[in-house]
Chains A and B, each alone.
Chain A
């Protein structure tokens, strides 16, 4: 059990003019027992951060604390953290049993204790029949389980998972997602999971830490981040299809605010967004999630949009429409129930739930808060 704290932690490769700042002084506190997800595109510094926590990568600046103790210079062997790698990194010359026993033997645990722990973990992960095999004789999913098992038997202070699911096929990945969540609930041990898969991020973590360009963009519970993205990057990264983002202008007309975009005017009752009043007359980026467009009016303040269908993606349980706003407006996506019957080129009227609209400042890309009345 451990809390992990990063205070202005940075990682710089090289020096002088050619120095690359992979992680730029990030602050984060991972609470004891938390399941924290590092989410971001490749090269955002999420794996480097995980490797710094593990001790496999030196910390260039700032302080890294585990359970309140500074561990910047503590050897990885002394940190008592277990890491599961994307390529599993199973020792190819050892059997599954020996792979699992390796860390325990190094710690000098008695033989009987080692055997008991391996038997327990092997049962939990259903790898008992594989114990005497070598990694080369295992399938991808089995290797993944063994890698996890090797971490579990150690009973470490925290688990560090470096994209462990990304080499699995879609079906197995969703099974392992559930397994990991169950495991976390059962053990209550701190877990830090690095991924670029936003489905993993949304479904597994107690909190998500979204990174970009070596910096933390937003940290929060998955639903919180989904509902209130801090900027256009987060809005455009989470969920598939992501939030529609298009330029517009916020205007005040009497009691009401109106968002004017190419091909549409969207009235927003001022009372639902007191925070936006001050931005009237300015250019904004309008954010509208595909799932907040519907055929029938929904929510307290619906607004009708005239659109034409560009392409239809019938996914089975739902249909994704790619639409053109107005005549020459931006292309936006809508997520609708599967029972509709749409064709490319067909004009449609959809209703946007304006209570769930987001506005972003085009200069900073940061979200413009709706203010107190926003209670959704």
Chain B
């Protein structure tokens, strides 16, 4: 009797947490399917359900453009930072380049609030490096994500691939060949996981995109925020737009989980 009660209690606690996480999303889903008036009603009503908000977002707003900008920035930032981060992580793991101070510095840089960095960066892009908004945002995302991705990947390059590389070296491979043909493929799950994390961080990023971008380079995060106007919040289309913006991340998450676990269990691959 007792074990069953314990299981029940555990499930109740878990259900509570799940509800806390899922309810806001379900709320947004409900709002996105109703109209503005029903959305604010308490106790909540389902009311008339339809996809009209989605249609409104796709036709009345620049949703397509925001989406395109987000894709461009996130893809470009990830493609630029991933190889560099992989090489940095490799150097740190294999040759102890920079030693622990570098790794600590990298970690510390992640603790700085973005608002501290965004104003100097704004000045840099205003005066020294006047590039188009999308390029500026991409560069900023690379600067922020690269150290983080490298930091994650260091553990993937640790001891386990060392003897494989040594085998490759005495098989006749140069350092670069050993890295490219042996280490990278073996550490690939970890590299993919770091890339997906970087992509999602870039996709969700708001502050740099807001400050460094101009009207033509609004990403989804900025675009969604612009739906809150002085005239009020257009809550129902905003909910629809939010869910549409979440879609790519929801698609990527299972892969992230899969590769992250694979990457972390690289050591088991003897």
B242 to chain A, nearest CB (A): 40
- Whether B120 sits at the interface, judged by CB under 8 Å, is no
- Whether B152 sits at the interface, judged by CB under 8 Å, is no
B window 64-99: CB within 8 A of A: none
Across-interface contacts of B186 in A (CB, < 8 A):
91-93
Contact B182 A56 (CB under 8 A): no
Contact A76 B169 (CB under 8 A): yes
Of A79, A83, A107, A136, the residue contacting B167 (CB under 8 A) is A83
B160 to chain A, nearest CB (A): 9
- Whether B229 sits at the interface, judged by CB under 8 Å, is no
Contact B166 A106 (CB under 8 A): no
Chain B: interface size category: 10 to 19
CA distance A81 to B173 in the complex (A): 12
Contact B173 A89 (CB under 8 A): no
CA distance A341 to B130 in the complex (A): 97
Contact A76 B182 (CB under 8 A): no
Across-interface contacts of A76 in B (CB, < 8 A):
166, 169-170
Give 1 or 0 for each of A57-88: 1 = CB within 8 Å of chain B CB.
00000000000000000011101011101010
CA distance A55 to B167 in the complex (A): 11
- Whether B111 sits at the interface, judged by CB under 8 Å, is no
Give 1 or 0 for each of B255-270: 1 = CB within 8 Å of chain A CB.
0000000000000011
Contact B164 A77 (CB under 8 A): no
Contact A54 B170 (CB under 8 A): yes
B window 165-209: CB within 8 A of A: 166-174, 177, 181-182, 185-186, 188
Across-interface contacts of A102 in B (CB, < 8 A):
168, 171, 173, 181
Give 1 or 0 for each of A130-156: 1 = CB within 8 Å of chain B CB.
000000100000000000001000100
- Whether A103 sits at the interface, judged by CB under 8 Å, is yes
Chain B residue at minimal CB-CB distance from A51: B166
Of A56, A91, A93, the residue contacting B170 (CB under 8 A) is A56
Across-interface contacts of A92 in B (CB, < 8 A):
164, 186, 269
Across-interface contacts of A77 in B (CB, < 8 A):
169-174
Across-interface contacts of A87 in B (CB, < 8 A):
163, 270
Contact A103 B185 (CB under 8 A): no
Of A90, A103, A160, the residue contacting B172 (CB under 8 A) is A103
Across-interface contacts of A154 in B (CB, < 8 A):
171
Contact A83 B166 (CB under 8 A): yes
Contact A106 B172 (CB under 8 A): yes
Contact A106 B173 (CB under 8 A): yes
Contact B163 A85 (CB under 8 A): yes
A window 104-125: CB within 8 A of B: 106-107
Across-interface contacts of A106 in B (CB, < 8 A):
171-173, 177
Across-interface contacts of A79 in B (CB, < 8 A):
170
Chain A residue at minimal CB-CB distance from B171: A103
Contact A56 B166 (CB under 8 A): yes
CA distance A357 to B97 in the complex (A): 57
Give 1 or 0 for each of A356-369: 1 = CB within 8 Å of chain B CB.
00000000000000
B86 to chain A, nearest CB (A): 16
CA distance A97 to B163 in the complex (A): 19
Chain B residue at minimal CB-CB distance from A100: B171
Across-interface contacts of A91 in B (CB, < 8 A):
164, 167-168, 182, 186
Chain A residue at minimal CB-CB distance from B166: A56
Across-interface contacts of A55 in B (CB, < 8 A):
169-170
CA distance A136 to B169 in the complex (A): 22
25 A-B pairs with C-beta separation under 8 A: A54-B166, A54-B170, A56-B169, A56-B170, A79-B170, A82-B170, A82-B171, A83-B166, A83-B167, A85-B163, A85-B166, A85-B167, A87-B163, A87-B270, A89-B163, A89-B164, A91-B167, A92-B186, A102-B168, A102-B171, A102-B173, A106-B172, A150-B167, A154-B171, A160-B170
Chain B residues in contact with chain A, CB under 8 A?
163-164, 166-174, 177, 181-182, 185-186, 188, 269-270
* For the complex of A and B, 4 pairs with smallest distance between CB atoms: A103-B171, A89-B167, A106-B172, A89-B163
Chain A residues in contact with chain B, CB under 8 A?
54-56, 75-77, 79, 81-83, 85, 87, 89-93, 102-103, 106-107, 136, 150, 154, 160
